[in-house]
């Protein structure tokens, strides 16, 4: 009848199969984390985080959770809100309840209908293509500038030759 808050939190419980789970850091729903938050393992955010979040593995942001800074992860599964840039080395998956105000940079992007993004999306797969295009643009710009200013260029060369002759 007079139930006291239990002192042992499932310490006596054991796993049924004895296999370790991947979840290493869990931020509960009514927990607020302030400051830069980094972990080597998986991170599961159910509460709010005001500060940069960094992990080399999976970051899961559950529905109702919020992160108010930049996020860097190996893989990200977002169902909550992120106010900041999201960078993932592999996949960013956004579910219908995801809200992202910031840029996304990743290799693969999965977006479910209903997810909202306000920012730029850059994917690593097109980096080479973008690189080639920009290279072509640069070369064409150089050509244009050369054709528009042929006499000046010639004058420069001749002036250099004159100087060499003086020496």
Partner 1 sequence: METRLTDFGIAGKIIRLQHFTNTQAIIEEEIARGATAIVIVGNDKTFGHVLSRAASSSILFGFLPVGQDNSIASVLGIPVGVESCDVLSRRRKVDLDVGWFNNRYFVSQLHIPLADITIQYDEKFSVSSKNGGLELVVCNLQPFVWKERGGKEYVVHPQDGKLEAFLRPLLHKRLFSHKFEEPSIFPFEEMIVTGTKPFVVSADGKESKETKITIRLAKNRIRMVVGKTRQF
- Give the nearest distance from C-beta 96 to partner 1 in angstroms: 20
| Count of Cβ atoms closer than 10 Å to residue 143 Cβ | 10
Q: Could you report how far apart the first and last alpha carbons of the chain are, in Å? A: 106
70 neighbors 88 (Cβ within 8 angstroms): no
One of 10, 113, 164, 167 touching partner 1 (CB under 8 A): 10
Q: Are 29 and 64 in contact (CB under 8 A)?
A: yes
Q: Is 34 in the site for partner 1 (CB under 8 A)?
A: yes
Number of residues located near partner 1, criterion CB under 8 A: 39
Query: C-beta of 6: minimal distance to partner 1 in Å?
Result: 8
Q: Which residue has the tokens 């992202």?
A: 100
Residue nearer to partner 1 on the CB measure, 54 or 105: 54
Contact residues for 22 (Cβ-Cβ < 8 A; gap 6+): 41, 42, 57, 58
21 binds partner 1 (CB under 8 A): yes
Please say which residue, 53 or 92, places its beta carbon nearer to partner 1: 53
Among 30, 147, 148, 151, the residue binding partner 1 under the rule CB under 8 A is 30
């Amino acid at each position: 009848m007079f139930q006291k808050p239990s002192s042992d939190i499932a310490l006596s419980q054991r796993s049924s199969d004895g296999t370790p789970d991947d979840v290493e850091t869990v931020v509960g729903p009514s927990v607020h984390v302030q400051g830069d938050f980094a972990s080597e393992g998986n991170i599961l955010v159910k509460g709010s985080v005001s500060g940069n979040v960094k992990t080399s593995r999976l970051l899961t942001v559950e529905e109702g959770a919020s992160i108010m800074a930049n996020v860097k992860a190996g893989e990200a599964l977002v169902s909550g809100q992120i106010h900041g840039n999201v960078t993932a080395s592999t996949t960013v998956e956004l579910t219908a309840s995801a809200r992202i105000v910031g840029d996304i940079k990743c290799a693969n992007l999965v977006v479910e209908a209903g997810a909202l993004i306000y920012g730029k999306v850059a994917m690593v797969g097109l980096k080479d293509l973008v690189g080639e295009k920009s290279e072509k643009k640069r070369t064409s710009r150089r050509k244009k500038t050369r054709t528009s200013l042929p006499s000046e260029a010639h004058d420069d060369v001749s002036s250099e030759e004159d100087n060499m002759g003086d020496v």
